[in-house]
């Protein structure tokens, strides 16, 4: 999604403490769309050519992968009945139904185990790392897909809520043992440029030499205030339980979000896929 702002301006808006006028002769021209990344939840009623989708998949799967193991797959959901089933799961997220393309990014530790079997070598890494590596690999591909789409003027929105419906998604996509959904992804042509989202200041999230929380609370407080001013929430989460706040801040919203259990069945699902999580 295009922006006329400079990279320095975009990073400053996003973080409030991003470095400016960085010296050097680095060619930063293709950072523009990365700096301007925004999830997109409103799409034109216009198809995305299937070859373009394949090309984005190729760019996504060209991203780094742990030990060259390539433990992630992308499922393009093109069948209208399958799309309708998925759309119906999310009445509160109309951008899923409104997106011309829907994909699911999966972690895949199955292929590696099959390769072991074929070569007659034991798979001696049946522990948490097997799941973790595949999940991280899928996340990296998901991010690369989103950034490649951004750079082409397309818009995306990752959809982790597909994991609220594990049994349905598993059956619909016919996912075998050791293959699991990490997130869905909507894709399409944005109707308009959404607004860039703000992030915590780098003072809270970038450390040198050691993990250091000294600056964290001041940074969160400043972020809360800045975000409430520039990007106020449209509604408050669970007001019956928590009341209403003014200002309603990012940290209040996040603390409310995880005050409610979510996806408590995910561990059981992953174990049932064959993973040992010790």
Ligand X SMILES: Cc1cc2nc3c(=O)[nH]c(=O)nc-3n(C[C@H](O)[C@H](O)[C@H](O)COP(=O)(O)O)c2cc1C
DSSP category for residue 194: P
Cα–Cα distance measured from residue 96 to residue 98, given in angstroms and rounded to the nearest whole number? 5
Cα–Cα distance measured from residue 152 to residue 7, given in angstroms and rounded to the nearest whole number? 17
**Contact present, 87 and 96 (Cβ < 8 Å):** yes
Nearest of 251, 261, 203 to residue 227 by alpha carbon? 251
Pick between residue 112 and residue 196 the one whose CB is nearest to ligand X. 196
The reply to whether 185 sits near ligand X by the rule CB under 6 A is no
Taking the complex as a whole, the smallest distance from the CB of residue 157 to ligand X amounts, in Å, to: 5
If residue 172 lies in a helix (H) or strand (E), which one and from where to where? helix 166-172
Handedness of CA 90, 94, 100, 106 (dihedral sign): negative
Site for ligand X in 194-233 (CB under 6 A): 197
The reply to whether 103 sits near ligand X by the rule CB under 6 A is no
Site for ligand X in 231-250 (CB under 6 A): none
* 29 C-beta neighbours (distance < 10 Å), count: 7
Give the interface segment with ligand X, choosing from 32-40, 109-117, 127-135, 206-214 (CB under 6 A).
32-40
The reply to whether 38 sits near ligand X by the rule CB under 6 A is yes
Taking the complex as a whole, the smallest distance from the CB of residue 162 to ligand X amounts, in Å, to: 7
Taking the complex as a whole, the smallest distance from the CB of residue 119 to ligand X amounts, in Å, to: 33
The reply to whether 63 sits near ligand X by the rule CB under 6 A is no
| Among residues 5, 28, 39, 216, the one that binds ligand X under rule CB under 6 A | 39
The reply to whether 156 sits near ligand X by the rule CB under 6 A is no
Pick between residue 139 and residue 274 the one whose CB is nearest to ligand X. 139
Residue whose pair of structure tokens reads 């530790």 in the numeric block: 109
The DSSP annotation for 81-129 comes to HHHHHHHHH-TT-HHHHH-SEEEEEEEE-HHHHHHHHHHT------SHH
Taking the complex as a whole, the smallest distance from the CB of residue 70 to ligand X amounts, in Å, to: 20
**Contact present, 221 and 206 (Cβ < 8 Å):** no
Pick between residue 37 and residue 273 the one whose CB is nearest to ligand X. 37
CB < 8 Å & 24+ apart, contacts of 260-264: 262/164, 263/163, 263/164
Pick between residue 55 and residue 197 the one whose CB is nearest to ligand X. 197
Give the interface segment with ligand X, choosing from 49-57, 110-118, 129-137, 154-162 (CB under 6 A).
154-162
| Among residues 138, 149, 172, 183, the one that binds ligand X under rule CB under 6 A | 183
| Among residues 104, 157, 172, 187, the one that binds ligand X under rule CB under 6 A | 157
> What is the binding site for ligand X (CB under 6 A)?
37-39, 93, 157-161, 183, 197
């Amino acid at each position: 999604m295009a922006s006329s702002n400079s990279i320095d301006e975009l990073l400053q808006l996003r973080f409030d403490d991003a470095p400016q006028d960085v010296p050097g002769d680095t060619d930063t021209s293709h950072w523009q769309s990365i700096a301007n990344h925004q999830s997109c939840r409103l799409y034109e009623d216009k198809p995305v050519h299937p070859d373009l989708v394949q090309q984005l998949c190729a760019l996504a799967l060209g991203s780094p992968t742990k030990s060259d193991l390539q433990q992630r797959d992308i499922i393009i959901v093109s069948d209208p009945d399958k799309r309708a089933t998925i759309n119906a799961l999310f009445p509160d997220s109309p951008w899923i139904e409104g997106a011309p393309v829907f994909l699911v990014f999966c972690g895949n530790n199955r292929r590696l185990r099959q390769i072991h079997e074929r070569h007659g070598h034991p798979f001696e890494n049946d522990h948490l790392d097997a799941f973790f590596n595949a999940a991280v690999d899928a996340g990296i591909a998901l991010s690369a897909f989103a950034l490649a789409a951004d750079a082409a003027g397309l818009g995306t929105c990752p959809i982790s809520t597909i994991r609220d419906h594990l049994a349905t998604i598993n059956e619909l996509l016919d996912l075998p043992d050791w293959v699991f959904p990490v997130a869905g992804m909507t894709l399409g042509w944005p109707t308009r440029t959404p607004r860039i989202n703000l992030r915590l200041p780098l003072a809270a999230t970038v450390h040198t030499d050691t993990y250091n929380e000294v600056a964290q609370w001041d940074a969160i407080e400043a972020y809360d205030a800045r975000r409430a001013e520039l990007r106020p929430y449209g509604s408050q989460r669970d007001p019956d339980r928590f009341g209403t706040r003014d200002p309603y801040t990012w940290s209040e919203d996040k603390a409310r979000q995880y005050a409610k259990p979510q996806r408590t069945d995910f561990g059981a699902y992953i174990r049932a896929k064959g993973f040992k999580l010790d």
